[in-house]
Structure formats: C-alpha cells, structure tokens
A = this chain, B = another copy of it.
C-alpha cells in the first residue's frame, strides 16, 4: 500500500541516490541543493522536508553505507566463525561492498572529510559515524580471532584503523593509476603480513 510513510521513505531514497551522483560529478561544494532536487525529480520543498541541509544529507549517505555494512556483518558472522582464515578477506570484502561504486564513494567521502577538517560540526558528526563503522569492524575481528583461538598483540581496533588507512590510501592510488595499482592489490599483498605479525595462537 502506498502509505505516506512509504512515500516519504522513497523520496528520501531518491534524494540520496541523486545526491550520490551529483556530489561525485560536481563535488560536495559544487553541488547545490537545487542540482540534487533536479536530479532526483523533486522540489526544494521535498528536500527540506527530509533534510535540514546538504551536510545532513551527506551524513545520511555515510549512515546508509554504515547500515549496509552492519547488515552484511550480521549475515556473514555465523559462517565466518567456521572459517577463521578468511578474516582479512571478510574485512576487506566488507569495505569494498559497503560502497557499490568505489570511485563515486571515494570522491564523496574524501570530499566530506576535507569539509569536516574545516568545519567542527561536520567533524563531530563524521567522527561519530566513522567510530560506529570502526567499532563494528573491530567486533568482527574480535569475534573471529576469539573463535579461531588467536590472540592479537595489538588492540583489534588499532589493526582495524590500519586496515582502513591502507584501504583509503590505496584506493586513491588505484583510482589515479588503475593499471599500476589494481584495486585491492596493496591490501592483499601486505595486510596478511601484518596479521601474521600480530597473531599468536
């Protein structure tokens, strides 16, 4: 049934989808609320009844990514517990799958991070969302290492921070030089070495 609540949720989803495209094309600062409304086929009234600002919409995009990640972790956990060797593949796979389009997501998330480095309110919101994302990945790592009888010589969260740093840094190189740095190549070459170094059974 086409209830008002369902319509509202569909409007929101289309605005998010439109914003993802427009941000990737024109940048966070270059994209206006009007551009996003045009792309999604809505009026500015529809926009402002869903989001108070462009910042709030960008944060909703991050939230949607985090939510998708949480769902995927929930679905994966039961299987992973029986295949501890796949810890890194699981974590890296989640980072890749969290965003359907890596180029688009890199542009948007990097740009919003730069915005946050100049705007304390955006920084607070972004740090909160990144923390949530990191905490879930940390739980996943802890769960798998526990199940497989491994202990890490560093806090699991530090390891997750490293994985995120390598992933984000490598993605930038892959997008600039796709032939020289195939997506995921640095992560898959070097992170298993780190995991072996910090693991004790």
> Measuring CB to CB, which residues of chain A are less than 8 angstroms from any residue of chain B?
25, 27, 29-30, 103, 106-107, 110-111, 113-114, 116-118, 123, 126-127, 130, 154, 158, 161-162, 164-170, 172-173, 175-177, 181, 186, 189-190, 193-194, 196-198
Number of this chain's copies in the assembly equals 2
Contacting pair A123 B176 (CB below 8 A): yes
A contact face: mostly helix, strand, loop, or mixed: helix
Give the residues in chain B near A168, CB-CB below 8 Å: 168-169, 172
Question: How far in angstroms is the closest Cβ of chain B from A30?
Answer: 6
Q: Nearest 4 CB-CB pairs, A to B?
A: A165-B169, A169-B169, A193-B197, A168-B169
Cα-based distance from A119 to B169 in the complex (angstroms)? 20
A114 touches B27 (CB 8 A): yes
Q: Which residues of B contact A193 (CB under 8 A)?
A: 193-194, 197-198
Docked CA distance A169–B190 (Å): 15
Closest B residue to A30 using CB positions:
B29
Residue of B nearest to A106 (CB): B117
A110-B113, A114-B114, A165-B172 given. 11 additional CB < 8 A pairs?
A107-B114, A107-B118, A123-B176, A127-B177, A161-B181, A162-B166, A162-B190, A166-B169, A168-B168, A169-B170, A190-B194
A158 — which chain B residues lie within 8 A by C-beta?
186, 189
CB–CB B190/A173 < 8 A: no
List residues of chain B with CB within 8 A of the CB of A167.
169
Q: How far is the CB of A169 from chain B (nearest CB, A)?
A: 3
> CB within 8 A of A161: which of B27, B162, B173?
B173
